[in-house]
Structure 1
Amino acid sequence: MGETALKLRHGRFPGWLALALIFALALLLAGPAFAQAAAPPPAAAAAPGALDRALTTIGGDGRPLSLSLQILLLMSLLTVLPSLLLMMTSFTRIIIVLSILRQALGLQQTPPNQVLVGLALFLSIFVMRPVISEINATAYTPYGEGRVPIETAVRNGGNVLHGFMVRQTRQTDLKLFSDMAGARGFARPADVPFSILLPAFVTSELKTAFQIGFLIFLPFLIIDLVVATTLMALGMVMLSPSIISMPFKLLLFVLVDGWALTMGSLAASFGTG
């Protein structure tokens, strides 16, 4: 505990806390940061050592934060870490497509929500593996070896996430939120601030997920229509078409190896073969 306290007081964190802090603060201190093009931040906010001063002082009087307050700060960052990671990775697109697939099959609770979330999480880790490896090489490893300060590691990790998000975001969505923010055109993708990129990325992911979901839903909808028309022609109007069509949809899904096809197509949609 004494060693941990010493590291915290001098701006150095244990490995697991450092990695969590790098992910949690990447949105705030990376590359373009939250600065709007029309309203640049004060110079003091981007000055070297700003994070160290924020963690070690209160109100600018130079007094060090107590260990309990430093731990409280870190725990507060960890509470928003899951939301940040889910919104800044491939998880959103994957979980929506899997949910639409379950609805298309006519299955209410199969697979259960825990299975879908777990499947989406591990597929997201697979898709984000190159990004995670690059963050480890450019941010976590240098910081763990003491070659860069924590704010540099956070900035490097944020730049990697920024690049991934830019590649998956439509230009129309970027333009929409840029116009809403009153920001002019950016010279290069790296200049887009996270305050504009993040909502544009989430909007683009939702649009892509629904497009994929429509293509998945279409063949199962055709089966429902054929079954409902057949039952009506036979005069069996009291029999629910979903009961008859479900076995045929399951059979079709199994024959085309639907899970492998869906997982492969989702991974390939992010440029991962």
Structure 2
Amino acid sequence: MMEHSFILSLTQIPGIDPNLFSDDPASVATTIQLLLVLTVLSLAPSILIMMTSFIRIVIVLSFVRMGLATQTMPPNQVIIGIALFLTFFIMAPVFAQVNEQALTPFLDGELEQEEAFDLAVAPMKEFMANHTREKDLALFMGYAGLERPESLEDVPLTALVPAFAISELKTAFQIGFLIFIPFLVIDMIVSSVLMAMGMMMLPPIMISLPFKILLFVLVDGWYLVVQSLLLSFN
């Protein structure tokens, strides 16, 4: 019933024919374009995650929570929300360049769809290339049997995006390792003190948790973490 109503609503839109085997090529092309647009919109969250600074930010913030051992504090919604807003802040120059070079001229009818796409992809590729290790990019280029590119324009997105993703994962884990060190030292000190006092049955995490939170607050930990993330994208 719902499918029938959806098809009926499509037939009421001018220029949209839900029948892909129609005799009118123009209506079929319009329908295919609509399906492609809906597909892109459904993949928009994945595009935001894989082609921006979101990967590094959300992993580092998760490492901070794991180091503090505060379980679900801050909640996942807060971490993802902070990561999204930091992503928009860091990517603002890139998004502004995409809007100025591609989106606005395309909406004004000055560019064709393919030209607008190429101009929109260029700033994103430049951003990803600046934060992608050559070794990671060579892995995917070599697996695909592609020759060494002479310029950034010759690098396909199919190779650049996964290379950028694994480069961001490595960088995020390196930052996470540095974040864990002071928390690990506190846990070791508390465990040693409890063993020296003979309190074997008392979980060390119950004692170390308040000290880790106190230390994190005293050094203004969230400020330092966000500052490090921002500087890592310069």
**Both structures adopt the same fold (TM-score exceeding 0.5):** yes
Aligned equivalent of 2:7: none
Secondary structure of the 1:65 match is helix
Q: Give the CA deviation at 1:174.
A: 1.1
Question: 1:81-96 to 2 correspondence within 5 Å?
Answer: 81-96=44-59
Secondary structure of the 2:25 match is coil
Corresponding letter in the other structure for 1:64? A
TM-score, scaled to structure 1: 0.75
Q: Does 1:238 align with 2:201?
A: yes
Residues in 1 aligned to 2:139 and 2:221: alpha-carbon distance in whole angstroms = 36
For residues 176-210 of structure 1, the C-alpha deviation after alignment (integer angstroms, 9 at most, x for no partner) is 22222222211123321111111110110000000
Higher mean C-alpha deviation, range 176-185 or range 258-267: 176-185
Aligned equivalent of 1:107: 70
Aligned equivalent of 2:8: none
Gaps of 5+ in 1: 10-57
Indicate the RMSD between aligned Cα atoms, in angstroms: 2.0
Higher mean C-alpha deviation, range 159-168 or range 185-194: 185-194
Q: Give the CA deviation at 1:62.
A: 6.5
Equivalent residues of 2:125, 2:152 under 8 A apart: no
Corresponding letter in the other structure for 2:151? R
For residues 58-96 of structure 1, the C-alpha deviation after alignment (integer angstroms, 9 at most, x for no partner) is 78x871236666544322221111111210100011101
Task: Tell me how many residue pairs correspond in the alignment.
Answer: 218
Q: Does 1:169 align with 2:114?
A: no
Residues in 2 aligned to 1:81 and 1:216: alpha-carbon distance in whole angstroms = 31
Corresponding letter in the other structure for 1:143? F
Aligned equivalent of 1:128: 91
TM-score, scaled to structure 2: 0.87
Corresponding letter in the other structure for 1:236? M
Aligned equivalent of 1:14: none
Q: Does 1:252 align with 2:210?
A: no
Aligned equivalent of 1:152: 115
Residues in 2 aligned to 1:197 and 1:157: alpha-carbon distance in whole angstroms = 15
Secondary structure of the 1:236 match is coil
Corresponding letter in the other structure for 1:192? V
Gaps of 5+ in 2: 1-12
Aligned equivalent of 1:17: none
Q: Does 1:79 align with 2:42?
A: yes
Residues in 2 aligned to 1:202 and 1:73: alpha-carbon distance in whole angstroms = 24
Corresponding letter in the other structure for 2:159? I
Equivalent residues of 1:169, 1:205 under 8 A apart: yes
Equivalent residues of 1:163, 1:190 under 8 A apart: no
Aligned equivalent of 1:196: 159
Moved beyond 6 Å, runs of 4+: none
Higher mean C-alpha deviation, range 73-82 or range 245-254: 73-82
Seq. identity, %:
49
Residues in 2 aligned to 1:162 and 1:170: alpha-carbon distance in whole angstroms = 13
Q: Does 1:63 align with 2:63?
A: no
For residues 115-161 of structure 1, the C-alpha deviation after alignment (integer angstroms, 9 at most, x for no partner) is 00000000000010110000010011111221112221111111111
Residues in 1 aligned to 2:211 and 2:187: alpha-carbon distance in whole angstroms = 9
Corresponding letter in the other structure for 1:132? F
